[in-house]
Structure 1
Amino acid sequence: MTDRPALTHIDAQGEARMVDVSDKPATERIAVAEGRVIMSPATLELIVSGNAKKGDVLGTARIAGIMAAKKTSELIPLCHPLALSKVVVDITPDAALPGCRVQATVKVTGPTGVEMEALTAASVACLTIYDMIKAVERGVRIDGIHLVEKLGGKSGHFRA
């Protein structure tokens, strides 16, 4: 049998639990996550030109991602509520996809990381883009949602 790290959200009896972070030092922690929304060139042009029926797709998705980061502990049962100090959601139209690249950066000074907040922000921003263009194109695809980078905390620096 190989030594594998234990899952931190499972106790000795196999029950789900919230990790106790009260003894961990508060340090600066940053996480970056990204995803892509793939669509037809015509749909991307609607977004870029500002002519989507529902309004400002990129601005709405950006705000939705920021709001989602702040609500992560309400959506993911074992996440700690955090006082986030920074949430940035950048959305870049990319004709080569064609579609939009979404990147979320989240920062906190605290005893636990913000990977879930960054992933939630990127996911919800992608979902919002989908919601705002689904009437025009049903075949839109969301993919590639992943953690790009994490800094701070005991485990140090991670880059995908």
Structure 2
Amino acid sequence: MNTEKNRNSLSHLDAKGQAHMVDVGSKEVTERSATARALVEMKPETLLKVIDGGLPKGDVLATVRIAGIQAAKKTSDLVPLCHPLMLTKITLDIEAINETQIEIRCTCKLSGKTGVEMEALTGVSVAALTLYDMCKAVDKGILIKETCLLTKTGGKSGDWVNEQEGNV
């Protein structure tokens, strides 16, 4: 591991290679957004119960959506070097994409000095975990997979699209 290279390329390491919170005080305020996605795979009969509201814990999708929004707002409490952010918008989109998979997308937005990628990833991750929790009584084999950042806009590094994901 080339420590000198890592010090120069990882903003969360100081000159001594120690972790620290990045100072964003002198950065420009820009409009920023990020969208992350997770796929959750389950038995077809479980997915039908999710859609039809036939699970014992109640309205699964409403609970999943609220959990994802709450998680995005709490990212700095969960990820040690993240800045607390004043998010201006969080959306959670949940859609069955076939008979066994649900796609969850979380988009976070703000006007600020640092990006919102971690908030989008945290939101979608906790939403997927909540979906598992709500369904585990009928399907313990649920898979949470392909969690990734799809897009980000704004900031010094500009816009970015996950080319590996094709149809974003």
Superposition TM-score, scaled by structure 1 size: 0.96
Letter of the 1:17 partner, please give it: H
Q: Cα offset for 1:94?
A: 2.4
Post-superposition CA distance 1:33-78 (Å, at most 9, x none): 0001100100001101101110111110000000000000000000
Letter of the 1:87 partner, please give it: I
- Structure-1 residue corresponding to 2:83: 80
Tell me which of 59, 71, 79 is aligned to 1:56. 59
Q: Does 1:34 align with 2:3?
A: no
Q: Cα offset for 1:155?
A: 0.4
Q: Partners in 2 of 1:84 and 1:15 — Cα distance?
A: 29
Q: Does 1:112 align with 2:108?
A: no
Q: Which has the higher helix share?
A: 2
For the residue of structure 2 that corresponds to 1:117, the secondary structure is helix
Q: Output aligned runs, 1:4-153, within 5 Å.
A: 6-96=9-99, 98-153=100-155
Structure 2 residues not aligned, in runs of 5+: 163-168
- Structure-1 residue corresponding to 2:159: 157
Q: Partners in 2 of 1:33 and 1:105 — Cα distance?
A: 7
Post-superposition CA distance 1:123-146 (Å, at most 9, x none): 000000000001101110000100
More displaced 10-residue stretch of structure 1: 140-149 or 4-13: 4-13
Q: Partners in 2 of 1:21 and 1:127 — Cα distance?
A: 31
For the residue of structure 2 that corresponds to 1:61, the secondary structure is helix
Q: Partners in 1 of 2:159 and 2:110 — Cα distance?
A: 15
Structure 1 residues not aligned, in runs of 5+: none
How large is the RMSD of aligned CA atoms in angstroms?
1.5
For the residue of structure 2 that corresponds to 1:146, the secondary structure is strand
Letter of the 1:155 partner, please give it: S
Letter of the 2:140 partner, please give it: R
Aligned length, in residue pairs: 159
Q: Partners in 1 of 2:42 and 2:19 — Cα distance?
A: 38
